[in-house]
Amino acid sequence: MIDTYKNEINEILEILGEKLDISESQHNAAVKSYEAVGDWLSKEDSLLYPYSPRIIPQGSFMLGTIIRPINDEDDIDIDLVCKLDGKPSHWTQKHLKEAVGNRLKEHSGYKQMLDDQDGGRRCWTLEYSEDANYHLDVLPSISDKNFTVLLNESFNNYQNLDTNKLAIRITDKEDLFYSIMTDTQWWMKSNPFGYAKWFFQRAIYSSKRMFALSESVDPVRPFQKQKMPLQRVIQLLKRHRDIMFSSNEYDRENRPISIIITTLASRAYDKSENIVDAYINIVSRMRSYIETRLNNKTGQYERWVSNPVNDEENFADKWADVNQKEEYFYAWLDKLEEDLSTIKYGQNKGLYRLNESFSAQFGDRVVNKTFAAYGQKNRILRETGQLKMAVGTGILGSVGKVVPDHNFEGK
């Protein structure tokens, strides 16, 4: 792939990633909302007050890989942890779950916003207005009293901290011990912040980019407009999945889940410093990071995508129960690999064909906006005499013959 073509595609994919991302105003609105929830849970008159409840983002919102839904009317899902430093000794998971829910219900606004007055399997979901277009999933949890200190150490000294120390204990209605066990050591363990540390270790691609780490992984970080290649590629992969499984041909419930996509992409990332190389290499290598392991309980071999901070946890454990989940994932990988030709061999097909192909992969509206923005940028460069065309290829960029500006005399 010649450099001028690669630079052009890289620029288009960067703009596409920006269009897929949520806006700064949406980000700030969500932060304001969840901070308000945290303030309410931690007021002195709250039953939770002695345990310093804190709301912390997790998942794609924290990793910087969140994307807009295909339809503007659909909600953006913001995943949050409600972290408590301890609990009364007699509390079970059920007590903790209900204490968080009851405190939310004491606020007239939050009570009306609750998606389910009994709560979901693990979370309480707050549905915001149609104008906001997002909902908050609040996961009650217990952490070690030193958790906050360790969390800050992790984001300032990410190379040395043991990620196991960032694990939390969560509530889960399907846990056999949900309403019985008071000892948190027997509660389900989760480690979204250890995972985030691992993710950003994978995402940082050069010592020159180390300065970005503190901004990128702070759990309450400002809006991050500039993304690292791995973040952008994951956004592209998730949108490709969303478009493919928006068809009536598929059962959307069994489409590939984001944690598997993010984990495989992160493992496959080779520290490429541009989106084009990162995307091509990740898609080409993702398949090789799906293992086959013997399940000692069933005696059967099964597909395995291990949690990088807990090798005993299989993110693909549902594949053995629902064959369609595995079938769909491999169908998606097949389509991704097929669509790579659009980028690899598209330099002689022109922008119109590229637009057409990207629209099928990522959606008409966002791709049209992307090419409009790219065209507008080139128009400005042309008007200022900075736009050039590579001889023999017709590729626009900063190398080659200057493209003259148009004028009304046709000169």
**Are residues 82 and 112 in contact, defined by beta-carbon separation less than 8 angstroms?**
no
3-state DSSP assignment of residue 164: helix
Confidence of residue 158 (pLDDT cuts 50, 70, 90): low
User: What mean pLDDT is reported for the chain?
Assistant: 87
**What is the dihedral angle through the alpha carbons of 341, 347, 353, 357, rounded to the nearest 10 degrees?**
30
pLDDT tens, 167-209? 999 999 999 999 999 999 999 999 999 999 899 989 988 655 5
Pairing verdict, β 134-142 and 168-170? antiparallel
Share of the chain above pLDDT 70, in %: 83
pLDDT number for residue 408: 41
- Structural domains for the chain: 23-222 (3.30.460.50)
According to DSSP, the residues that pair with 168 across neighbouring strands are 190
What whole-number distance in Å separates Cα of residue 320 and Cα of residue 302? 6
Tell me phi and psi for residue 312, to 5 degrees. -80, -10
Task: Report how far residue 128's alpha carbon sits from residue 113's, in angstroms, rounded to the nearest whole number.
Answer: 7
Distance (Å) of CA 253 to CA 65, 246, 286: 21, 11, 22
More confident residue, 260 or 204: 260
- Are the beta carbons of 283 and 340 closer than 8 angstroms? yes
Give residue 180's pLDDT.
97
Q: pLDDT per residue over 48-70, tens digit each? A: 999 999 999 999 999 999 999 99
pLDDT per residue as tens digits for the range 93-110: 999 999 999 999 999 999
Higher per-residue pLDDT: 44 or 220: 44
More confident residue, 146 or 137: 137
Res 213 pLDDT > 90: no
Residues in the chain: 411
Confidence at residue 350, expressed as pLDDT on a 0 to 100 scale:
74
Per-residue pLDDT reduced to its tens digit, 315-363: 999 999 999 999 999 999 999 999 998 888 766 677 788 899 999 999 9
Q: What is the DSSP letter of 398?
A: S
Q: Nearest CA to 102 among 78, 82, 79, 129?
A: 82
Task: Report how far residue 351's alpha carbon sits from residue 361's, in angstroms, rounded to the nearest whole number.
Answer: 15
379, 388 in Cβ contact below 8 A? no
- Residue 341: its pLDDT value, please? 86
Across-strand partners of 141?
83, 170
Q: If pLDDT is split at 50, 70 and 90, which confidence band does 404 have? A: low
Read off φ and ψ for residue 273, nearest 5 degrees.
Answer: -95, 5
One-letter identity of residue 374: Y
For residue 395, which phi and psi values (nearest 5 degrees)? -80, 130
Cα–Cα dist 177/103, whole Å: 23
Residue 84 pLDDT exceeds 70? yes
Residue 244 confidence class, pLDDT cut points 50, 70, 90: very high
Number of H helices, E strands in the chain: 14, 13
Q: Distance of CA 240 to CAs 129, 229, 341, Å?
A: 28, 16, 15
pLDDT at residue number 159: 57
| Measured distance CA(156)–CA(246) in Å, rounded | 40
Tokens 């780490």, residue?
A: 213
Asked whether residue 210 carries a pLDDT value surpassing 80, the answer given is no
Alpha-carbon distance of 84 to 92, in angstroms, equals 14
CA distance 286 to 153: 31
The model's pLDDT over 14-51, given as tens digits with 9 standing for 90+, comes to 999 999 999 999 999 999 999 999 999 999 999 999 99
Q: Is the pLDDT of residue 277 over 80?
A: yes
